[in-house]
């Protein structure tokens, strides 16, 4: 059993074990709680939602390790001005009160995972889909992983991914009958367009599977234009949460290995938020 | 001497040509009207309606490709100048595309990326990207000119994007004004369960890609409207039963809704997320009729950019 670990010691240990230190991205790092707060248990939850907070409280965890921001400040692309706009918002205030009442520590480390182990979350998604991701080249910092898969069609691949991930709200771009043999897997929010462009540098890739992309500006239109330009390519969006959950499971396993004795749990899978009209 | 009506008509025609009719017809010849002139006529009309767009550095409405002095053979209105729309424009023997959205996948059709989070940005540029070059080459080979009509179009009174969407929904009688929101109206509709409201929206905009958040049985009496980011729909979410939102990003607005619903607060309650193209393209469909009185000299048509996604059968 470890002696009590403070928040600062936890963050320091994670950085040390990953051998990666950098300045936090916008709105990342220790979001709530203090450096000297004792960590009694960790819940890994990509989205530090009210549901996740309730689960942490019920299971005696006072620290949530997450990819997203508890108060919706995703990052520079989407969140400029949002903190001020939320100042008097009832949802923000109720959630903040809940966190304060239970003295919860919320630590957001998305950029750290993607910098120290860029293939981690995408590889986890690929494995969840039953595929074997290829090892990246040394120094490859892209989060994209590549998999050769048994020949199928885009429609059949979408049906397969839907069943495998228990996701119903999938959206696709491309010919449903397009033969698929090689997939680029990109977890989460695939942005900006350069990320998709990079995936297409592999000429054999005929499908990109990801969580979500911007639609009109950037990525989805880029794929549509690429198809018109003559490339046999397609895009499958499985949903942001669904694409990141396998990574949270593997991250939890890793944390248990580097923090023996610390109670660590991953949030159980949450129900898909959306449904089609 | 008697003269037939036919010969009389021919003589009248000849007289018109000889007495300046020919000069008049040369001045109105389609080949003389340039893309710049068309754009200027549009901007003049917008200004005449009292719209004065002053956002230095943020004006989207510029020429995105081609020489503005190019004579116009025909005009295409579209939601977005995708590569497919460009090809259909050429097939339709037109050369001037007026696009509501951007042409090259980045803010203001510039290829910059973010600033604060730049160290975490992927390195590289799209300026030598294959599809980018192919699209530009296609425009060059076919003499295409592309102009973006976005900010000024939204500032028309009424905003044609909102007006045509409202008409598609058949909700003109339900429009109520709101203050202090990005889009200054909402819909006060007869109480309807959320699932029925969403189904009506999907059928009206002819799309299966309509994602919904909220209890399907939620009674909806008031529908707000907003676009793209949580900060832009926050006030509608705080004051309506459901909000019609154009192209949200999952990681932005959705977590807020998940939390609000989990907390059981009065708001937010529901979201109906529709594709951006389905939200806004209806105005471009009507735009040729709007432009024709201003530009009678050349043919004008609408070409759809099409829906981006397809979904699995229910």
Q: What is the DSSP string of chain A?
A: -PPPEEHHHHHHHHHHHHT---PPPTT-EEEES-TTPEE--EEE-SS--HHHHHHHHHTT--EEEESS-TTS---HHHHTTHHHHTTT-HHHHHHHHHHHHTT-EEEE-HHHHHHHSTTHHHHHHHHHTT--PPPPPTT-----EEEEEEEEEHHHHHHHHHHHHT----EEES-TT-EEEEEEEEEEE--SHHHHHHHTTSTT--EEEEEE--SSSSHHHHHHHHHHTT----EEE--HHHHHHHHHHHHHHHHHHHSTTS-EEEPPPPPPS-EE-
Interchain proximity B273–A274, CB inside 8 Å: yes
The answer on pLDDT for B72 being more than 50 is yes
pTM, 2 dp: 0.90
pLDDT classification of B21: cutoffs 50, 70, 90: very low
Nearest CB among A78, A218, A273 relative to B105 is that of A218
Q: Where are the domains of chain B?
A: 32-157+279-302, 174-274
Percent of chain B with pLDDT over 70: 82
pLDDT of B16 strictly over 90: no
pLDDT surpasses 60 at B19: no
Q: Read off the pLDDT band of B95 (50, 70, 90).
A: very high
Nearest partner of A68 among A247, A229, A201, judged by Cα: A247
pLDDT, one tens digit per residue, over A157-216 is 999 999 999 999 999 999 999 999 999 999 999 988 889 999 999 999 999 999 999 898
What distance, in Å, lies between the first and last C-alpha atoms of chain A? 51
**Minimum mean pLDDT among A213-217, B71-75, B120-124, B292-296: which range?**
B120-124
Most B CBs within 10 Å, among A50, A91, A97, to test the B interface: A91
**Cα–Cα distance between A259 and A254 in angstroms, integer?**
9
Q: Residue A237's closest chain B neighbor by CA?
A: B309
Q: Which residue, A151, A135, A167, is CA-closest to A206?
A: A151
A89 vs B238: CB contact, 8 Å cut-off? yes
Nearest-neighbour CA in chain A from B240: distance (Å):
14
pLDDT at B12 over 50: no
| Rounded mean pLDDT, A37-52 | 97
CB-CB under 8 Å, B310 with A228: no
Pair A146, A183: CB distance under 8 Å: yes
Tokens encoding A84: 């001020």
Confidence at residue B8, expressed as pLDDT on a 0 to 100 scale: 40
Q: How confident is the model at residue B27 (pLDDT cuts 50, 70, 90)?
A: very low
Q: B174-274, what's its fold?
A: 3.40.1390
- Chain A residues touching residue B311 (CB < 8 angstroms): 169-172, 276
- Fold agreement between A5-114 and A120-241: yes
pLDDT at B193: 98
Whether B6 has a pLDDT exceeding 80, the answer reads no
Pairwise CB contact (< 8 Å): B258 & A275: no
Shortest CB distance from A171 goes to which of B120, B257, B309? B309
Percentage of chain A lying above the pLDDT 70 cut: 98
Q: Which chain B residue lies closest to A82 (C-alpha atoms)?
A: B231
- B15 has a pLDDT exceeding 60: no
Instruction: Say what the pLDDT of residue B117 is.
Output: 55
Q: Do A277 and B84 count as a contact with CB atoms less than 8 A apart?
A: no
How confident is the model over B272-303, as pLDDT tens digits? 999 999 999 999 999 999 999 999 999 999 99
- Note whether B32-157+279-302 and B174-274 share their fold: yes
Nearest chain A CA: its distance from B31 CA (Å)? 30
Cα(B239)–Cα(B178) distance, integer angstroms: 10
Do the Cβ atoms of B250 and A142 come within 8 Å?
no
Strands laid side by side in the B185-193 sheet: A275-276, B211-213, B270-274, B242-246, B219-227, B185-193, B175-177
Q: What is the mean pLDDT of chain A?
A: 94
CA-nearest residue to B256 within chain A is: A72
- The vertex-B12 CA angle with B9 and B13, nearest 5°, equals 90
In CATH, the architecture of A120-241 is: 3-Layer(aba) Sandwich (3.40)
pLDDT at A81: 87
Query: In this complex, do B259 and A95 lie within 8 Å of one another by their Cβ atoms?
Result: yes
Residue B19 CB-density burial (10 A; 0-12 exposed, 13-18 middle, 19+ buried): exposed
Q: Give the per-residue SS3 of A89-145.
A: CHHHHHHHHHHHHCCCEEEECHHHHHHHCCCHHHHHHHHHCCCCCCCCCCCCCCCCE
List Cα–Cα distances, B276 to A53, A227, B270, in angstroms: 33, 20, 18
Structure tokens at A40: 């009694």
Domain positions in chain A are: 5-114, 120-241
Q: How confident is the model at residue A276 (pLDDT cuts 50, 70, 90)?
A: very high
Of the candidates B105, B121, B213, the beta carbon closest to that of A221 is on: B105
Of 3.40.1390.30, 3.30.70.660, 1.10.287.370, 3.40.190.10, which CATH number belongs to B32-157+279-302? Answer: 3.40.1390.30
This model of the complex carries an ipTM of 0.95
Q: If phi over 0 gives left and psi between -120 and 50 gives alpha, with beta otherwise, what is residue B293?
A: alpha
Level-2 CATH architecture, domain A5-114: 3-Layer(aba) Sandwich (3.40)
**CB nearest A78 (choices: B113, B249, B275):** B249
Q: Between A and B, how many residue pairs show a Cβ–Cβ distance under 8 A?
A: 207
User: What region, left, alpha or beta, does residue A261 occupy, with left being phi > 0 and alpha being psi -120 to 50 degrees?
Assistant: left
Exposure string over A159-189, b if 16+ CB within 10 A, otherwise e: eebbeebebbbbbbbbeeebebebbbbbbbb
* Chain A positions in Cβ-Cβ contact with residue B212 (cut-off 8 Å): 274-277
């Amino acid at each position: 059993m470890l002696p009590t670990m403070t928040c600062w010691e936890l963050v320091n240990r994670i950085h040390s074990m990953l051998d990666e230190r950098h300045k936090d991205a916008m709105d990342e790092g220790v979001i709530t709680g203090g450096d000297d707060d004792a960590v009694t248990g960790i819940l890994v939850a990509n989205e530090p939602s009210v549901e996740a907070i309730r689960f942490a409280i019920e299971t005696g965890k006072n620290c949530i390790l997450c990819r997203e921001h508890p108060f919706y400040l995703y990052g520079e692309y989407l969140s400029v001005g949002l903190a001020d706009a939320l100042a008097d918002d009832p949802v923000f205030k109720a959630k903040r009160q809940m966190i304060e009442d239970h003295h919860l520590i919320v630590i957001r480390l998305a950029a750290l995972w993607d910098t120290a182990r860029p293939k981690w979350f995408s590889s986890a998604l690929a494995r969840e889909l039953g595929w074997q991701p290829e090892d990246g080249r040394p120094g490859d910092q892209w989060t994209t992983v590549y998999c050769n898969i048994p020949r199928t069609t885009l429609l059949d691949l979408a049906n397969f991914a839907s069943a495998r991930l228990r996701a119903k709200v999938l959206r696709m771009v491309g010919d449903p009958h397009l033969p698929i043999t090689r997939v680029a897997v990109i977890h989460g929010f695939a942005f900006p367009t350069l990320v998709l462009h990079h995936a297409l540098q592999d000429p054999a890739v005929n499908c990109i599977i990801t969580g979500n992309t911007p639609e009109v500006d950037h990525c989805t239109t880029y794929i549509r234009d690429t198809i018109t330009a003559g490339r046999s390519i397609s895009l499958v969006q499985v949903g942001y949460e669904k694409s990141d959950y396998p990574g949270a499971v593997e991250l939890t396993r890793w944390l248990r290995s580097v923090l023996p004795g610390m109670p660590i749990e991953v949030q159980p899978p949450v129900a898909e938020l959306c449904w089609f009209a | 001497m008697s003269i037939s009506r036919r010969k009389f008509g021919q003589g009248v025609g000849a007289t018109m040509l000889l007495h300046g009719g020919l000069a008049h017809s040369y001045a109105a010849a389609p080949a003389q009207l340039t893309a710049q002139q068309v754009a200027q006529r549009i901007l003049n009309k917008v200004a005449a309606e009292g719209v004065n767009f002053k956002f230095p550095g943020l004006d989207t409405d510029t020429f995105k490709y081609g020489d503005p002095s190019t004579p116009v053979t025909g005009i295409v209105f579209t939601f977005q100048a995708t590569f497919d729309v460009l090809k259909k424009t050429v097939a339709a023997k037109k050369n001037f595309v007026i696009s509501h959205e951007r042409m090259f996948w980045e803010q203001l059709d510039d290829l910059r990326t973010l600033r604060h989070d730049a160290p975490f940005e992927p390195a590289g540029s799209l300026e030598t990207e294959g599809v980018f070059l192919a699209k530009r080459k296609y425009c060059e080979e076919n003499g295409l000119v592309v102009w973006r009509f976005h900010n000024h179009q939204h500032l028309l009174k009424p905003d044609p994007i909102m007006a045509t969407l409202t008409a598609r929904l058949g909700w003109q009688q339900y429009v109520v004004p709101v203050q202090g929101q990005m889009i200054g109206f909402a819909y006060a509709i007869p109480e309807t369960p959320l699932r029925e409201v969403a189904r009506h929206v999907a059928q009206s905009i002819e799309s299966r890609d309509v994602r919904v958040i909220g209890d399907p049985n939620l009674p909806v009496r008031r529908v707000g409207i907003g676009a793209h980011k949580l900060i832009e729909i926050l006030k509608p979410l705080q004051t309506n039963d459901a909000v019609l939102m154009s192209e949200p990003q999952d990681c932005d607005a959705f977590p807020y809704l998940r939390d609000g619903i989990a907390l059981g607060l009065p708001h937010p309650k529901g979201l109906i997320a529709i594709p951006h193209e389905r939200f806004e393209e209806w105005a471009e469909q009507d735009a040729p009729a709007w432009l024709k009185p201003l530009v009678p000299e050349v043919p004008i048509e609408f070409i759809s950019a099409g829906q981006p996604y397809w979904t699995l059968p229910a």
